Amino acid sequence: MFEREPNIDIVFRNGLKNLEVLPPADMWDNIPPMPVRHTRLRVISGIAAGVAALVSLTLLVTWYVRNNNTPVLLSEVTVPGDGLQGSPIDIMEASPISGTEDARIVRFVTLSDPAVPVVEAVPDLTADEPAVLIASADIPEQRTEPGEPVILFPDEITVINAGRFAGAEEGIMATMAEAKTAPAGQRFLVGASMSPAIGFSPSGNNQRLAELISSERSRPSYSTGVTVGYRISDRLTIQSGIGMASVGQTISDVNVYAGLSDFYAVKSSYLYSVETASGTILSGNTDLYLTGSKDRVGTLIQGNMADPSKYQLTQVGSDIQQVFRYLEMPVVLRYKVIDRKLGLNLSGGVAYGLLVDNTAYTGEGSDLIRVGHTEGINIHNISSQLGLGMEYSLSRKITFNLEPVFRYYMTPLSDISGSLYKPYSLGFWSGFSFKF
Amino acid sequence: MAKEKDIIEGCLSGSRRDQELLYRRYSPKLYAVCLQYAGNTEEARDVLQEGFIKIFENLSRFSHEGSFEGWMRRIIVNTALERYRSRYYLSRVDDIDEVTEPESEPDTDDFAGLEAYDLLNIIMELPPKYRMVFNLFAIEGYSHKEIGEMLGISEGTSKSNLSRAREILQKKVMILTGVTRRMVNV
């Protein structure tokens, strides 16, 4: 049987159903900004994009290597024969250069009547010029028919001079077959690098972001690490390695006072929040009182009643430093535009970064006080970089690089105000490489 | 007027403006719920603040399948319950098996002149343990078993608290509306 509901319940339920009471006016100021959490889909998309970029780069390198495995070591060869003894033939200019995998077919473009006079091939090598690879081929005469291509097999070609630079006094005596199996040596390189940089923060059309950024300045950032590389060809090198990168910014319109815990004890994990372009700093140090402009500072303290003058708090900082450190794994392709002792390199690549440190602190020198950490920072990021700089060969094995590098974060460091926050930086990549 | 879904998406992307918009739109109703459970304005402020932090933190979990207002209300009620449990957990009353109902009950029409604010004030004056049970049972529609689990009390205690709450409320309402006097005079 249906039990009748007491009328008093109905009276209160209906009476309170649409009741609205305006909360105190300052209530909103005490609610900190919502921490931005990235959806799993977004994180997966970011990682997938990074993996796709690396796979594409690998495929590109593989394609390049496979399509450039014709013998490039020889640019000139002397071929014996009637009227051609000692005559240098530029293989690179001979056309077509094709044939079986091991053979090199040379079409005598200069075979004419009268035959090309015999000339002793004496390379004119100057100190800073890259040395051409000089070779001679002992070919039976019957294989040098006028008007017919000459087929040169690797074991018929003897390398008599080779080297990066003429001044290096290199005189490798080897057959072409040997030269192919151990091409020019020094395929690998290891090195150490250091790259100081200065960052920039684009705000786009986001007004709030622009307002916040106007009181934030980038901290000088840097990345250091060790690199390993592989010379795909004389001009092209692929490099990777591992390093540590540090980026950050200074929030200049926030004042920090210490001593609050003597007057205000709480169990909360944080008391103050500071809205910044790269995320919200949550002040886990509950001894600190924070105040600032642009409504960027929020607090859980009711009515923000902590008054520094009333509580006699001590000012310990007039800004907050945000620091993010990433473990970085770059993959960079480096191309020698000018291949001289003092060369010019063009480089481009991507780097995967894993966030290993996220700290906000205040103070100066040795008196640094940890404030807390920044919420909403991506754990992973992918950045791209493009550089153009010089490479100086200190010796056959050691080179020094100095290269202005532009870096752009392809994935955002964080999200705020509906805008993707992707800083960029301009720096100098410098380092030494040892070839072996 | 911005659509609810747009505001939610704006909040999720980190827009402080949308967060404020959401707060301005729903905080009056939710603050009334806070007062209803908290009993005083100081406590209600804390519940609303804590509740909104939770709403923002869990906004990505809202599935858009049910009422958004209802979802937020549940968070506020749960926040109020958590605070109640932490403060009044040890304050229990003895179980009463037999629940006594008021002998005569006035008709709902007799309370027609009552304003919502009067009802809120009356409910806020209830002792916390009666207020919580009455709110959960009469307003939110939970069963005594559910209320017992929520508050860490037995079903019997929940029933007795409800009975006592009704008794107090009825008396206060009758005094406020003059029903008692009329009933006596009649």
CATH of B4-88, picked from 1.20.1270.10, 1.10.3720.10, 1.10.1740.10, 3.30.565.10, is 1.10.1740.10
- The identity of residue B130, as a single letter, is Y
| pLDDT number for residue B65 | 81
Distance (Å, whole) CA A183 – CA A71? 10
Which residues of chain A are within 8 Å of residue B59 when distances are taken between CB atoms? 34
- The identity of residue B59, as a single letter, is L
The DSSP code for A377 is: B
Search chain B and give the residue with CA nearest A416.
B14
Out of A19, A23, A416, name the one closest to residue B14 (CB): A416
Distances from the Cα of A383 to the Cα of A44, A353, A386, A420, B72, angstroms: 16, 8, 10, 14, 39
pLDDT in tens, B59-80: 888 888 889 999 999 999 999 9
| pLDDT number for residue A253 | 86
pLDDT averaged per 10 residues, chain A (length 436): 63 88 87 65 64 70 58 45 47 39 41 37 45 52 55 56 43 42 62 79 69 82 85 84 88 86 70 84 85 78 65 83 90 84 86 91 81 86 87 81 84 60 74 81
The alpha carbon of residue A13 is apart from the nearest alpha carbon of chain B, in Å, by 5
Instruction: Work out the average pLDDT over B119-131.
Output: 91
Distance (Å, whole) CA B107 – CA B177? 12
State whether B53 and A32 contact (CB < 8 Å): yes
Out of A20, A415, A417, name the one closest to residue B29 (CB): A20
Phi (first) and psi of residue A330, to 5 degrees: -90, 155
Which residues of chain A are within 8 Å of residue B111 when distances are taken between CB atoms? 7, 11, 15
What mean pLDDT, rounded, does chain B reach? 81
| pLDDT number for residue A167 | 43
CATH of domain B108-185: 1.10.10.10
| pLDDT number for residue A62 | 64
The full set of domains in chain A, from first to last, is 32-66+186-253+323-435 (2.40.160.20), 76-181 (no CATH)
Out of A10, A22, A376, name the one closest to residue B28 (CB): A22
Domain ranges in chain B with CATH number 1.10.10.10 = 108-185
Rounded to 10 degrees, the C-alpha dihedral B117/B118/B123/B125 comes to 110
Which helix (H) or strand (E) is B118 found in, with range? helix B116-125
CB atoms within 10 A of CB A51: 12
Which helix (H) or strand (E) is A390 found in, with range? strand A380-393
State whether B134 and A35 contact (CB < 8 Å): no
Which residues of chain A are within 8 Å of residue B10 when distances are taken between CB atoms? 418
Three-state secondary-structure class, residue B61? helix
Instruction: Work out the average pLDDT over B15-42.
Output: 90
Residues B60, A34 contacting (CB under 8 angstroms): no
| pLDDT number for residue B136 | 93
A272-276 vs A188-200, strand pairing mode:
unpaired
Q: Which site among B8, B37, B45 would you substitute to test the A interface, given the most A Cβ atoms closer than 10 Å to its Cβ?
A: B45
| pLDDT number for residue B164 | 92
| pLDDT number for residue A145 | 59
Phi (first) and psi of residue A246, to 5 degrees: -125, 125
Q: Which site among A3, A22, A30, A34 would you substitute to test the B interface, given the most B Cβ atoms closer than 10 Å to its Cβ?
A: A34
Residues A227, A431 contacting (CB under 8 angstroms): yes
Token reading at A409:
């974060």
| pLDDT number for residue A42 | 59
| pLDDT number for residue A67 | 59
* Selection from A287, A432, A301 nearest residue A370 by Cα: A287
Token reading at A347:
């480089």
Which residues of chain B are within 8 Å of residue A39 when distances are taken between CB atoms? 60
Task: Give residue B55's pLDDT band: very low, low, confident or very high (50, 70, 90).
Answer: very high
| pLDDT number for residue B112 | 60
Distance (Å, whole) CA A257 – CA B174? 55
Distance (Å, whole) CA A429 – CA A347? 11
Distance (Å, whole) CA A278 – CA A219? 13
Which residues of chain A are within 8 Å of residue B170 when distances are taken between CB atoms? 8
Search chain A and give the residue with CA nearest B137.
A9
Residue B133, pLDDT > 90, answer yes
Distances from the Cα of A192 to the Cα of A214, A240, B96, angstroms: 36, 11, 80
pLDDT in tens, A245-256: 888 889 988 988
The alpha carbon of residue A260 is apart from the nearest alpha carbon of chain B, in Å, by 20
Distance (Å, whole) CA A89 – CA A78? 6
DSSP string, B110-176: GGTT--HHHHHHHHHHS-HHHHHHHIIIIIS---HHHHHHHHT--HHHHHHHHHHHHHHHHHHHHHH
Out of B15, B45, B166, name the one closest to residue A8 (CB): B166
| pLDDT number for residue A105 | 43
Which residues of chain B are within 8 Å of residue A36 when distances are taken between CB atoms? 12-14
Residues B94, B125 contacting (CB under 8 angstroms): no
pTM (global) more than 0.90: no
The alpha carbon of residue A202 is apart from the nearest alpha carbon of chain B, in Å, by 17
Search chain A and give the residue with CA nearest B56.
A34
pLDDT in tens, A90-103: 444 443 333 334 44
Residues A295, A273 contacting (CB under 8 angstroms): no
Distance (Å, whole) CA A135 – CA A83? 18
| pLDDT number for residue B97 | 40
Q: What Rg value do the Cα atoms of chain B yield, rounded?
A: 19
| pLDDT number for residue A75 | 44
